[in-house]
Structure 1
Amino acid sequence: MMNLDRTEKLLLAGIPILILLGFVLPEWVVNYIQVSLGTGLVALAVMIQMRAGLVSFGQGLYFCIGGYAAGMAGKFMGVSDIFILLIIGMLVSLFMAFIAGFLLRRYREIFFAMLSLALSMILYGLLSKLEVLGSTDGFNIPSPTYLGWAPEGDTAKHALYIATCIPALLCAALLNRYLRSPMGFIGEALRENEIRLEYLGTSAHRAVHIKYMIAATVSGLGGVLWALALGHVDPEMTNWTTSGQFVFISILSGVGNIVAPLFGTFILEIVRVYAVEASPNTWQMILGVIMLLTIIFLPKGLWSLIQRKKASAEETTQK
């Protein structure tokens, strides 16, 4: 029997809880949860790379590839089944990362960050010029079907919400299992001492390549879920501002737990809503101040507050 840790149990228990909340919470909150799960997966992809000492400023590349792959399959090939769209988005993202990984695996630190950003902006420029894909406006995606079932109205909204919650939380649970595996711990070794890792017989280049492909696949999944939730894709998905948002979430939430970026994404969405309402012209400044305060007072992110509480509780128990 598979041994589940506390985080995996929390994620699996969260699936029915989120589904039930979808029927009782206000529609606008449900929409934010749904969107946050899509972008939260991309933040997770950034997080698992950060654990290996790699900061990707271009993760929007695979967020966009996943969304556009699913959108193009629906628009040009008539594919509407959500399971097929999810597979297409992940496979295309994985394939592109496999190719790009041969370049990025050779670089670290700022060079890795800037190269990932450059690739993302190349795609942004291409999509902005392609009129067949709507240029800068993008294009709409048809409503998905579920193994031949095509719900309508509120039923369609609930079905898509459920179809977002299940793969998002299952993916997070699998990523947590991956980080607990020997391959996951190689990432931390890569961050601490790459030369020693090589002496132990593990190729650092191959480890980076594999981690990059995993992050791309997860981002592609997030891109498909996000695109289906909004029913639209556009080049802004791969713009530097979007990629920067994922890095922002990872710093805000911290890398201490796989759940942290999912909560951080939802918190960011809510903060942005109230920031725009309070200061429509300078709401970015509010987010910048929050980012600055987090870096100064919580350098390990918001999740460090929970870790401190746990450590405090353990000390009290031991006494």
Structure 2
Amino acid sequence: MKSSSTMHARQRARRPQHALIALVVTLILIALGIGLSTWQFVVVVALSKGLAALGLVLLLRCGLVSFGQGLYYCAGAYAVGMAMSHLGMRDLVPLLLLATVSAAVIAALLGVLLSRYRDIFFAILTLAFTMILYGLLIRNPVLGGSDGFNVQSPTFFLLADGALSRRTMFIITAVVVGVSIWAVQRFLATPMGRLGPAMKDNEIRVEYLGASARRNIFWNYTLAGALAGLGGGLTSFSIGHIDPDLAFWTTSGEFLFIAILGGTRNAYAPFLGAIALELIRSLAFQYVPNSWQIVIGVSMLVIIIFLPGGLISIARLWLRSAVRGA
């Protein structure tokens, strides 16, 4: 009983820290974006993809590999595009809510089936569903077919004088990412969030303890879909164009790459991986445009060999050495 109360006290003590760290991360992103204005577009795209990778991290913590996050990323983007084209919606907040809820509903419906499967069967099924969406979109002329369609710049209810500027969109994206980091960190501290690594180690033992592995996977999958939909909505605003390639399997593979590159220990890691990937790709396009895939592949090998815990392990080592030095 005493150890249980001590654990709850530690959890309550960590909650303000999560909020403080998320606030600091948001302020750092805003400061870097304002100071390095030429990189605002790259960072916004990276943060949007980081949201989809953040959902994938939740599944990886449960021992599941998904090649279908592109489905919800694309669903969120198309929900925004269709709402703007057919319903005349222009305000950012309801559009992002629509993208998030639409992707969450689809994830919940598919999660009822997918929560039954594990290992390679789960991975292949998620890949199949996202490719079904890709096939439907590419053959549907109403949604632009293979060319897709453009998305207008949104408005914001506090800025009713017109469309949002790139800087304002960057600040809003940074705030959305900060709130998402805080919310997911809170989720990881809950019993359902802590069950993920335990299920990855021994799912049968988790069932014997009275927890439902299937229900836990369902909620993690639904939350992962909602985060990907939110990222897809932000991407549609920053790029201004959506097409079926958002649901192609290579997009889901890129999210998996980001999750592995950043690490799966916490909610900050995927965004570190996403920013690193976009910077590597941008620099590779600039200096070795014909061999940028080789640069990314070599970077992946280096991370796996020397940093199996992802880029976030560098920050953990730095903090550990700083504590020892103090």
Calculate the TM-score normalised by the size of structure 2: 0.91
Deviations 1:76-111 (A, max 9, x none): 110111111011111111110111001110111111
Partner of 1:16: 27
Distance (whole Å) between structure 2 residues aligned to residue 20 and residue 151 of structure 1: 25
| C-alpha contact 1:127 1:135 (8 A) present in aligned 2 | yes
Q: Work out whether residues 30 and 171 of structure 2, in 8 Å CA contact, stay in contact via their aligned partners in 1.
A: yes
Flag the 1:163–1:291 CA change in 2: closer, same or farther, 3 A. Answer: same
Task: Work out the CA distance in 2 between the residues paired with 1:97 and 1:125.
Answer: 18
Offset of 1:237 from its aligned partner? 0.8
CA distance in 1, matches of 2:319, 2:31: 28
Give the drift of 1:311: 3.3
1:261 is matched with which residue? 270
Q: Which residue of 2 aligns with 1:249?
A: 258
What is the 5 A alignment of 1:139-150? 139-147=149-157, 149-150=159-160
Q: 1:45 aligns with which of 55, 60, 78?
A: 55
Verify the 8 A CA contact 1:51 1:187 in the aligned structure 2.
yes
Partner of 2:76: 66
**2:148 is the alignment partner of 1:162:** no
Identity within the alignment, %: 43
Give me the whole-angstrom Cα distance separating, in 2, the residues matched to 1:314 and 1:142.
Answer: 49
In 1, Cα distance between the equivalents of 2:146 and 2:240? 16
Per the alignment, residue 210 of structure 1 pairs with: 219
* Count of residue pairs brought into register by the alignment: 315
CA distance in 1, matches of 2:143, 2:13: 45
What residue number does 1:25 align with?
36
Instruction: Please report how far the alpha carbon of residue 316 of structure 1 lies from its aligned counterpart in structure 2 after TM superposition.
Output: 5.1
1:52 partner amino acid: C
CA contact (8 A) 1:81 1:148 kept: no
* Shift of residue 8, structure 1, vs aligned partner: 3.4
Please state how far the C-alpha of 1:60 moved relative to its aligned partner: 0.8
Cα distance, 1:229 vs structure 2: 1.0
RMSD: 1.9
- Compared with structure 1, are the counterparts of its residues 185 and 7 closer, same or farther at alpha carbon in structure 2 (3 Å cutoff)? same
CA distance in 1, matches of 2:166, 2:160: 11
Contact kept in structure 2, 1:19 and 1:162, CA below 8 Å: yes
**In structure 2, C-alpha distance between the alignment counterparts of 1:19 and 1:152, rounded to whole Å:** 22
Counterpart for residue 105 of structure 1: 115
Q: Aligned letter for 2:44? A: Q
Deviations 1:108-163 (A, max 9, x none): 1111111111111111111111111111111111221112744457x622322222
1:301 pairs with one of 299, 303, 310: 310
Residue number among 143, 148, 161 corresponding to 1:138 in the alignment: 148
What is the CA–CA distance in structure 2 between the aligned matches of 1:22 and 1:301, rounded to whole Å?
Answer: 24
Matched, 1:270 2:279: yes
Cα distance change of structure 1 residues 313 and 15 upon mapping to structure 2, 3 Å threshold = closer
> Amino acid of the residue matched to residue 240 of structure 1?
W
Which residue of the partner structure matches residue 99 of structure 2?
89
Aligned-pair CA distance for 1:312: 3.7
Structure 2: 5+ residue stretches without partners: 1-11
Residues 103 and 226, structure 2, Cα contact 8 Å, conserved in 1 = yes
Structure 1: give runs of 5+ residues left out of the alignment. none
Helix, strand or coil at the partner of 1:143: coil
- Residue number in structure 2 paired with 1:225: 234
Tell me the SS of whatever aligns to 1:4.
Answer: helix
Residues 119-128 or 142-151, more deviating:
142-151
Q: Aligned pair in 2 of structure 1 residues 306, 18: CA closer, same or farther (>3 Å)?
A: closer
Query: Deviation above 6 Å: which 4+ runs of structure 1?
Result: none
Q: 1:116 aligns with which of 112, 126, 141?
A: 126
Distance 1:67 1:86 in 2: 9
Deviation at 1:276, TM superposition (A): 1.7
Greater CA deviation, 62-71 or 248-257? Answer: 248-257
Aligned with residue 85 of structure 2, among 62, 75, 82: 75
Would you say 1:172 and 2:178 are equivalent positions?
no
Q: 2 CA distance for matches of 1:211 and 1:87?
A: 19
Counterpart residue identity of residue 99, structure 2: G
Structure-1 separation of matches of 2:75 and 2:146: 15
Q: Which amino acid aligns with 2:193?
A: G
What does residue range 192-207 of structure 1 map to in structure 2 within 5 Å? 192-207=201-216
Deviates more, 1:224-233 or 1:278-287: 278-287
Q: 1:2 to 1:64 in 2, by over 3 A?
A: farther
